[in-house]
Structures are given as structure tokens and as C-alpha cells.
Amino acid sequence: MNFILTPCICVSHVTVTVTWLDLFVLDMNTETVCEGKTLDLRCKKGMTIDIESAIYGRLSSETCKAGSNIKTTNCASRKSTDKVKQKCNGQRNCNVRASNWEMGGDPCYGVTKYLSVRYECVGKSYGLVLKYL
């Protein structure tokens, strides 16, 4: 604030800048389900899903190994991240089935696959910041 020193103190000019919105990330999550199961992504109220990456295929012999046919650990769909982003980004909750149909094809025929999704829950923080000039 600028003050003019006279017998009375008067405000000569005030400029106020208001900032209302900031995005914040609650945390990073990784969820994995075996082929044929449904992945349930959830964020708290006021937060929405933002997909970082998704892998549908098999890159590990340790994930979903019970009763699995593991011929290779070097196959993954190139479409899985885009498919999951299209379905889930901006939603509070989202269900994605680990299936060839939902992921746009079979990236490794005859191999038991899994879906692993890395995502953030992002929200909007409404705050009032006043800047006086």
C-alpha cells in the first residue's frame, strides 16, 4: 500500500492480484492385477486420476506367477498406457480389466499376462493469495 502523509492517512492506490487455483498431487500409486481380473483405481473425494504409465503383458516372472504360463518376460502392449489414460484420466474412480480385448490385442500369445498401472491422484487446492502493490 502507498500512503500519502497528510493530516489524514489515505490510501492512494491499491492493486490486488488474486491467485485461486493450484494443482497438487496426493501420492503416486502402482496397482497390479493378473490377466482376467479387474483393476480398481480410486482417488479420495476432490481428487482425480492421472495415469503415468500402464503395462499389459509380462516383464517379470515374479508377478502373477501362480499357475502361469511364462514363456517370456519381454512382452508388453504398446497400447496399454493410451488405453488406460483414455478410460481413467480425470475420473475419481476407474475399473480396467486386464484383458486382451480391453488392452487392444494380445501382446504375447500363449503367455499369462498382467496389468500394472502407475498413477497419481491430483486435486485442486483453492486458496486465496492477495498481493498488494
- With respect to residue 9, please indicate whether it lies within any of the assigned structural domains: no
Query: What pLDDT is attached to residue 28?
Result: 84
- Its pTM stands at 0.72
Are 14 and 4 a contacting pair, CB within 8 Å? Answer: no
The domain that contains 74 carries what CATH number?
A: 2.60.120.740
Q: pLDDT digits over 85-132, tens only? A: 999 999 999 999 999 999 999 999 888 899 999 999 988 655 544 444
Q: What angle do CA 51, 120, 89 make, to 5 degrees?
A: 40
- With respect to residue 10, please indicate whether it lies within any of the assigned structural domains: no
- Which ranges of 32-124 does DSSP label H, i.e. alpha helix? 80-88, 100-103
Query: What pLDDT is attached to residue 105?
Result: 92
Residue 126 pairs in a beta bridge with 21
Q: pLDDT digits over 28-84, tens only? A: 889 999 999 999 999 988 889 999 999 999 998 888 886 667 777 889 999 999 999
Structural domain including 89 reads: 23-127
Query: What pLDDT is attached to residue 110?
Result: 87
Query: What pLDDT is attached to residue 124?
Result: 66
Environment class of 61 (CB within 10 Å of its CB; exposed 0-12, middle 13-18, buried 19+): exposed
Of residues 23 and 78, the one with the higher pLDDT is: 78
| pLDDT greater than 50 at residue 4 | no
| pLDDT greater than 50 at residue 16 | no
- With respect to residue 11, please indicate whether it lies within any of the assigned structural domains: no
- With respect to residue 52, please indicate whether it lies within any of the assigned structural domains: yes
- With respect to residue 50, please indicate whether it lies within any of the assigned structural domains: yes
- With respect to residue 90, please indicate whether it lies within any of the assigned structural domains: yes
- With respect to residue 18, please indicate whether it lies within any of the assigned structural domains: no
Are 98 and 114 a contacting pair, CB within 8 Å? Answer: yes
What is the tally of structural domains in the chain?
Answer: 1
| pLDDT greater than 70 at residue 22 | no
- With respect to residue 77, please indicate whether it lies within any of the assigned structural domains: yes
